[in-house]
Structure 1
Amino acid sequence: MSRDIYVHTWPCSYYLELEKRWVPGKLLLTSLSVRFMTDKTGGFLVDFPLANIVEIKKEASHFIFGAVTILEKDNVKHWFSSLQPSRNVVFHVIEHFWREVLLSQPGAAGGSSASPETKGKQLTGLMACSQKRLEDAARVLHFQGEQLDSIASGLDRMASDLDVADRLLTELESPSWWPFSFKFWKMPSDTELREGSSTASSKALGKEGIVIRIPVVISQRTESHVKPGRLTILVSGLEIHDSNSSLIHRFEREDVDDIKVHTRYEVSIRQRFIGKPDIVFHLISARMPEAIPVLEMQFSKKIEFLEDAMMLRSPGASSTAEKGHSVWQADPGEAEGSRLGGQGGAGETG
């Protein structure tokens, strides 16, 4: 196991200011830092924490080639170009994790040496996280209990309707001169039935609660086009919104055919169709580890943990272990074969 868990790696070129040339290599992102490793030596030319970032921008090197620039607190500016699969993907993913680090401070800027106080805080955080997961589970179970109550109420109404229909058929079969064919019972009116059913349905829908909501980076079909947004996990389904809170898509619970957990920060959600393309969303988030246990609880028979995420699977859960590399991450073998060699040119316009 690697000492550091990389969220993503992207083939790119880094500009060496002192030597005035571009160096091919890989841009590495962890949950707390950004690194650049050269292809030639395998050493790190750049390694700085996300908390030191002041600004991330999309610019053009020499007014031609698209690049992502990162400015640190000490006014050191880093240029990354020839980004694969695209400059837009790299920019949005790094910006997302940078924002989450800023929101999670002061704990995010801590060093590698943990004091007893820091360990105590971590244990307290784990306890709080476990409590929140239990609360989420209780909320889901409560809603499912209400759904079962609503189903039982519907079955009772159906039994009552069948009883009324039986009596009506008995009356129709009786001779017209039979004196006991008169309705001695009071039938429930249609309005009462409609009011009862609407009350039950509104109660069920009104109790639809939000289990968890996290910011995400969204990709659909074309992996080189991403945008920031939000994933909302409801007790009855999933909703994906853009950064303007506009609904992009809603998955009802029964609409979800499979959920694949690629890494602890990335999942894909699929709804299959016959005769037309499937609906697939790829989502990445720094807070995805909070949502994965909820997804596993909600969709236990539809979720699949791929190889890079097997450690997140709950004990006793079964999943087919397939090779799961990131959908936004260039394959390292292919990247080595398609590397630009020693050319220093930065060729992606984003």
Structure 2
Amino acid sequence: MGAAVGRMKLGSQGLEVSRQGLGCMGMSALYGPPKPEPDMVALIHHAVASGVTFFDSSDVYGPFTNETLLAKAFRGGVRKKVEVATKFGYHIVDAANFEIRGDPAYVRAACEGSLKRLNIDCIDLYYQHRVDIRVPIEVTVSDRIGELKKLVEEGKIKYIGLSEASASTIRRAHAVHPITAVQLEWSLWSRDVEQDIIPTCRELGIGIVAYSPLGRGFFSLGPKIVETLTDYDFRKMVPRFQPENLAQNGLIFEGVSEMAKRKGCTTSQLALAWVHHQGPDVCPIPGTTKIENFNQNIGALSVELSREEMVELESFAAADAVMGDRYATTSGTWRESETPPLSSWKGRQ
């Protein structure tokens, strides 16, 4: 099974990962209550045995508990077999509030905290989870007064990534220190990144990590997914899952479902295969908390799609067919990630 997953180069800086990763957020946060720890450790071990070695976390998942979960799963020599990605940027102010931070002092403190919780000496890929629009991106990533480059030089992180960053933000960051990967939402019904961000990443040799490649589970169950959402599942607030949009979006699922039947695969495998077919520089990281769903997801690697089938799939989810935004607000997405010029930075006391 591991050979079927295979390996890929993510970006042009030397990082190699499995062709498909595992998003770990839902194990600990945002998709309902945390899942039983022993079950999640067993899932992670199953993933490694199956050839999936690229694990995606963040300090804000929990908060903090997802990283400690991974630490438990990576004991006993497992760490040597995996690539660990985590993120910083969401500063928890109190139980009800957070702020986005990218200032040097916070970057270092966040990294030290993640290293301790993960119980590792070095983070393979460290992303800025969301862009702090108050701090020049050059300061966050690398400059004489920045911090991420120092953390690389100190051996505390190997590679730098950005998440939900605009094309111009990516260019500015990459100009002062190589960016290895950009994480963004990319799926059949989230394709706006194709216009500017994807071409920019490819021009600069930056790997692409696609989160929510199954539309936050929509391409697994279709409109019925709303019936499965428990309390504290943030998808209840996502516009695309609201009743006024769900009926129209259900037509997208019907088209994908009919094609999946013809192909002899599931709708989720077909939607995930579409992401894999975007190119050898793309690594999707579907999340799951169930071994059977994980097995189904890696089965997508065996689904072959012709150019004609890709076009047919895309016709179901044309931009004017998708109803509702992917978040309740565009704040915190690449649409609002521009930072001040470096010349404006005076530092923060």
Instruction: Give TM-score, length-normalised by structure 2.
Output: 0.24
- Structure with higher helix content: 2
- Structure with higher strand content: 1
Instruction: Give TM-score, length-normalised by structure 1.
Output: 0.24
Higher RCO (CA < 8 A, seq sep 6+)? 2
